[in-house]
Amino acid sequence: MASIPANRKPFQFHLDLHSGVPIYRQIIDQVTGGIAGGALSGGDQLPTVRQLAVDLSINPNTVIRAYRELEIRGVLETQQGTGTFISHQKVQSDDAERQRRLNQLTGEFIARARSAGFTAEELMAQLLEFQSDAGKKRR
């Protein structure tokens, strides 16, 4: 899958078909999240389009779309005949991308909470309590 040092586990993709988030976006978010979390780093090789499509049981065009968008952002580099690799350059996320990601996370959170039977009021109360508790711990 990827050229990973012996002390790191290979990166695994996981899809949530019930999240409402398009599959190609989930792939993009998992790659960028893997980089941010240290699970992926510059030079790591990703699975081929065909292999990832088989592993996830999805259309190869979906993987192509995700990889292409990541290449445009400078996150991935594809070397013909060799494979697709995480770029060594540091990619800055702009404010629009950061806001889009926050909106996506918020939407997923609300959808999951609602499916578990929680109301928006209960969510707000819990978030405010969480914020209050976090403020107390910092003092």
Residue 121 located in a structural domain = yes
50-59: long-range pairs with CB below 8 Å, 24+:
51/1, 52/13, 52/27, 55/13, 56/13, 56/15, 56/23, 58/15, 58/23
Which residues, listed in sequence order, are joined to residue 77 by a DSSP beta bridge?
85
pLDDT greater than 60 at residue 3: no
Phi/psi of residue 76, each to 5°? -120, 155
Between CA 40 and CA 46 the distance in angstroms is 9
Shared domain for 102 and 56, answered yes or no, is no
pLDDT of residue 137: 67
Shared domain for 99 and 122, answered yes or no, is yes
Q: How many domains does the chain have?
A: 2
Split at pLDDT 50, 70, 90, the class of 138 is low
- Residue 73 structural domain: 23-86
CATH of the domain at 74: 1.10.10.10
Mean pLDDT check: name the lowest of 1-10, 55-64, 98-107.
1-10
pLDDT of residue 31: 93
For residue range 5-34, what is the model confidence (pLDDT) as tens digits?
A: 545 567 899 999 888 889 999 999 899 888
Between CA 41 and CA 29 the distance in angstroms is 15
Shared domain for 61 and 36, answered yes or no, is yes
For residue range 60-94, what is the model confidence (pLDDT) as tens digits?
A: 999 999 999 999 989 999 988 899 999 987 655 66
Between CA 25 and CA 130 the distance in angstroms is 29
